[in-house]
Structure 1
């Protein structure tokens, strides 16, 4: 799992426990970034999870069968992949390489902590940002209020969250999402700092 570091675009990772607010923050970040010359591009993951209400194949995720996912794993087509909350998730390695190296675009991956750690521990250059919830109680409320998961699924996600948050120290930045605008500003600052560093690196 290696991609040459002679890439032109910057690779960003946004991760954190389910319910931390990653998706809403990243959606706004991309919207604001599209208004600049940066044009941040979101990588769309593959998953064996069934679509939730309102999700669209090829927009939110590429929804594939267990057999299709395993075939891609066998062919080593994933930059990272993980089994999360009983479903498989993975990022297409060839697509990321093309966007970074050939298209010279900045790419952001919104992925689970397991997948993020695979990239952090590899030889790839990236800026990894971990989103923390304000508290465990608020995380539980967010998961319950969004009404997209069963009570058993919420229980599993909360159990995983306690372990995932311990890994936050391995990321370049840790941002507590207790205020939406403040969190957006901190993420944008972190991204711009990394971009500036990339420009000034021989």
Structure 2
């Protein structure tokens, strides 16, 4: 018997793969916020591509679609009357006005995902994050994304070539106010390199899933484990 075989035998280890037990878990609301141009949307897309157990919350908005955006995929595009009706019927978990347009989160699909143990990612501003935190305080995980500098932020806004110079100036003027809300978040990432920021965002997601309070089936699993000893 080799040394490694002896060590494995003594520890009870097996060369066969051991399947991970299923432990029921409550889903979480993973909020990513930043001033416009700091990279939260790119970061959110990378997290979604890297992890199949989290899905994007599709917001409702009154702003017109940008080139390449699809209704029902990027946003649910509605007019102001339809948005007001959703607010009055209590169908929105949160809503905010941003640059003369309204954005909101439909309640039903989010609550269903949480009950089913699925995680939901939110690309929303600090106003929406505050409202979600008030309504579902034990379910939210808040991440604020900062640009490495003001110059880089302005350069990113201009490079998108989607907004006029006037709109870019408005977004830069609003950035300082938006950044002032960073202490309200659980985590803060300085997005200098998107690869590093993505790795950090995924590490946060993994850690939050492992929190004892979110693992609803953990007590039952431990009882069964103890009874078998």
Aligned-partner SS, 1:185: helix
**Cross-structure match for 1:159:** 173
Q: Distance in 1 between matches of 2:136 and 2:49?
A: 30
Whole-angstrom CA distance in 2 between matches of 1:118 and 1:159? 24
CA distance in structure 2 between the partners assigned to 1:68 and 1:80 by the alignment: 15
Distance (Å, rounded) in 2 between the aligned partners of 1:49 and 1:97: 25
Provide Cα deviations, 1:137-180, integer angstroms capped at 9, x if missing partner. 11111001101111121111111111010101110000000011
Matched, 1:48 2:62: yes
Does 2:29 correspond to 1:11?
yes
Aligned residue among 183, 194, 213 for 1:169: 183
Gaps of 5+ in 1: 1-6
The root-mean-square deviation of aligned C-alpha atoms, in Å, is 1.5
> Number of residue pairs matched?
191
- Per-residue deviation at 1:121? 3.8
| Deviation of the 1:136 alpha carbon | 1.2
1:24 equivalent in structure 2: 42
* Unmatched segments (≥5 aa) in structure 2: 1-24, 220-229
Report the counterpart of residue 3 of structure 1 in structure 2. none
How far apart, CA to CA, are the structure 2 residues paired with 1:168 and 1:20? Answer: 13
Q: Which residue of 2 aligns with 1:107?
A: 120
Aligned residue in 1 for 2:5: none
TM-score normalised according to structure 2 size: 0.80
Counterpart contact for 1:17–1:113, Cα < 8 Å: no
Structure of higher CA gyration radius: 2
The worse-fitting range, judged by mean Cα deviation, of 51-60 and 104-113 is 104-113
